[in-house]
Structure 1
Amino acid sequence: MSNPIVQKFKNIGPGALVAAGFIGPGTVTTCTVSGASYGYTMLWALLFATVATIIFQEMAARVGIVSGKGLGENIRDRIPNKTLKWIAIVIVIIAIFVGNVAYETGNITGGILGIQAVFPDASMIPIVVVLGILAFAALWIGSYKVVEIVLTGIVVFMGVVFLVTAFASSPDWGAVAVGLFVPTLPEEGSKGILTAVGLIGTTIVPYNLFLHASGASERFKDPAQVSDARFDTVLSIGLGGIISMAILVCAAANIFGTGAAVTNGKDMAIALEPLMGSWATWMIGLGLLAAGFSSAITASLSAAYAVNGVLGWKKTLKDLPFKVIWIIVLVAGCIMAIVLGKSPTELILVAQAANAILLPIMAFFVLYCANGKDLGKWKNHIFANCAGVVIIVITLFMCWRNMSSFIASLQALIGG
């Protein structure tokens, strides 16, 4: 008989995919900009985001396992009133489309930053075209899984590099502790709140809720395996959150206070110089490119799974409606990256903030589905419901506070 602990580790999968999904170029950029601009003061936002992600991703995975369906199908099936059902369907489609196009724009822009970190004179439009064609080809022929495994491996390696560098940089651990547990918002009412919301938006990714529910329903066929899925979720996302914090700590220890502004990948490489030396630029370039490319694939796919699920359509790579949806998201992301790509780090920050604004809507749907009576003993208990409501209220408050900064930053991005 196999060791139950060993078996839990063998069942790690859907949660790891979610963690790999949110450690994209948006995370590297947003965490680096935050650390470089505000030191350790925004670590609390990452701690909150990591805990919130674990709570809601666990709900999504549990709903997927017990129902045997994705989140889109659950939203469609659990709302009895036809009018309310279609309102929910429209909200999900609009939110997922807007959120994923914003995220896709950030992913493609991350790939551009990665290449330009190593080759500063590389032209933006050819890079976007090549990245778009490669992502399209990988999705069309269905070989994205192999590509994703390889590129996720590179991203994980980069995560380890940031963790080691964080300790090698001899950070002020007292300031780290204060930053983690004492919430503060630098530059009240301006970019500080935008950065805080961006840190949350780059961690609690709405489309990952759909990805996790579908992945867990395929991996775990028995409701008794919910505990295995929970272990996978806590371990994988917890480690992902620690890596995000390490990125911020590296930037805070090596860039904050120097007067350097983070506007491109080469600027981000300064955070890795204590460990990587002259190789720091290549490391950050390769990491941003890999993170951007792999996330560009998963973002497109997740949008197709979510929209097809909520509309009750078939969800295979060969179905034309499925292909049409991921093509629209991919092409829109490429176009937006070209049009708005003059300020890449600002664009990525705005994309993460847009995602955070859509988060409370998707979180509400997950909370609703996780309270379905048919889930029996697997439905939400009082702690999960209270935690879920508190998180939604906090994110709503932060989004409301962020709205004016978000609109101003978006107008400046479009006008600039």
Structure 2
Amino acid sequence: MSGPRQGSSQPQFMTSVGQNNNVSNGPGTPLIDSIDVDQIVIPEKNSWKNLFSYIGPGFLVSIAYIDPGNFETDLQAGAQYKYELLWIILIASCAALVIQSLAASLGVVTGKHLAEHCRAEYPKVTNFILWILAELAVVACDIPEVIGTAFALNMLFKIPIWCGVLITGLSTLMLLFLQQYGVRKLEFLIAFLVFLIATCFLVELGYSKPNSSEVVRGLFVPEIKGDGATGLAISLLGAMVMPHNLFLHSALVLSRKVPRSVHGIKVIYLNLT
């Protein structure tokens, strides 16, 4: 497929088609209006070397799936119902892959993340309600994360709960401080932590020696037994399909400078998703 010819009035990229009184962009205005100088430039070609330039946003997104709250839900489901609810995780993972792929494609093609699109397309009242809900969601998500980490530090190292809360807050500030030195350094740190968690998981898997036939049955035979199984199934689903991850993924892909051509966008999209 060849790109638009020079001098053609046909727009090359997605344009705004709606009229919004709160936004200066009118119909037909390109959604991509600027290029960030801090973006990481990626050549328009396929290679194994370039693969390492793409996987950084994926590691950052993966953090949301392996937080302490999700671990607690998974452990509780496994302790009470063993492998019976694995099919929920399989279905939720497939759904999450599709939705995350759509979020990434939105950022790659338009050059704006999901929050910017909401602000551009919705009226002021709707945007205000979305902002309040987002703030409440951040607080509701951070409270169990901070307290969960504090309890983990207490159980592992006998650190008082209040000290664990302060340490958790300090670690967040350290990550924000690290971000000013470049997104690649932050991605490298997160990738190291993800590999460390994966290694620990594989070691624990070797110790537990799960029954392979029961695991396969749990993955592909849907069943919910027991009074609390439905609630845990909903918790597992919520731990995999998370709205805040859609906003995050659509924004993280913007750290890469996408070659503004049909082939370039396809290459970036396929690698980032």
TM-score (ref. length: structure 2): 0.71
Partner of residue 363, structure 1: none
2: CA distance between counterparts of 1:46 and 1:201? 10
Is residue 2:248 matched to residue 1:211?
yes
Note the C-alpha offset of 1:112: 1.0
Work out the CA distance in 1 between the residues paired with 2:190 and 2:51: 25
Q: Which of residues 130, 135, 156 in structure 2 aligns to 1:97?
A: 135
Separation (CA, whole Å) in 2 of partners of 1:14 and 1:126: 31
Q: Given the superposition, is the C-alpha separation of residues 66 and 3 from structure 1 closer, same or farther in structure 2, using an over 3 Å criterion?
A: closer
1:219 positional shift:
1.3
Question: 1:69 is matched with which residue?
Answer: 112
User: Where do residues 148-163 of structure 1 align in structure 2 (5 Å cutoff)?
Assistant: 149-150=188-189, 152-163=191-202
State the one-letter code of the partner of 1:174: S
CA displacement at 1:183 relative to structure 2: 2.2
Change (3 A) 1:143 1:130: farther
Amino acid at match of 2:166: V
CA distance in 1, matches of 2:104, 2:153: 36
Judged with a 3 Å threshold, the aligned counterparts in structure 2 of structure 1 residues 163 and 3 are, in CA distance, closer, same or farther, namely: farther
Q: Is the 8 A contact 1:62 1:226 kept in 2?
A: no
How big is the shift at 1:164?
4.3
Give the one of 205, 211, 229 matched to 1:172. Answer: 211
Amino acid at match of 2:68: P
1:32 partnered with 2:32: no
Corresponding residue to 1:4 among 41, 46, 64: 46
In the alignment, is the contact (CA less than 8 A) between 2:59 and 2:194 conserved in 1? no
Q: 1:231 to 1:44 in 2, by over 3 A?
A: farther
The residue type paired with residue 180 of structure 1 is L
Cα pair 1:30 1:199 within 8 Å, conserved: yes
Q: Secondary structure at the match of 2:240?
A: coil
5+ unaligned residues in a row in structure 1: which ranges?
80-84, 234-416
AA aligned opposite 1:47: L
Aligned to 2:19: none
Task: String of CA shifts for 1:99-158, please: whole Å, max 9, x gaps.
Answer: 2212111221231132112134x3212321333244346536855965674355234212
Q: Contact 1:96 / 1:206 at 8 angstroms: preserved in 2?
A: no
Residue 139 in structure 1 maps to residue 176 in structure 2: yes
Deviations 1:71-95 (A, max 9, x none): 111122234xxxxx23431342233
Question: Is 1:230 equivalent to 2:270 in the alignment?
Answer: yes
Give the match for residue 129 of structure 1.
166
Which digits, 9 at most, give the CA deviation of each residue in 1:204-255, with x for residues without a partner?
222111111111123152363344433433xxxxxxxxxxxxxxxxxxxxxx
Q: 1:117 aligns with which of 142, 155, 161?
A: 155
- One-letter amino acid matched to 2:141: Y
Q: Is the 8 A contact 2:111 2:254 kept in 1?
A: yes
Distance 1:117 1:178, change over 3 A: same
Q: Distance in 2 between matches of 1:72 and 1:2?
A: 28
Higher helix share: 1
User: Is 1:193 matched with 2:240?
Assistant: no
Deviation larger for 12-21 or 146-155: 146-155
Query: 2:258 aligns to what?
Result: 221
Q: CA RMSD in A?
A: 2.8
Matched, 1:183 2:222: yes
* Partner SS, residue 202 of structure 1: helix
> How much has 1:40 moved relative to structure 2?
0.5
Q: CA deviation at 1:37?
A: 1.4
- Structure 2 CA distance, aligned partners of 1:51 and 1:163? 22
Amino acid aligned to 1:11: Y
Letter in 2 for 1:63: L
**1:44–1:179 CA contact under 8 A, matched in 2:** yes
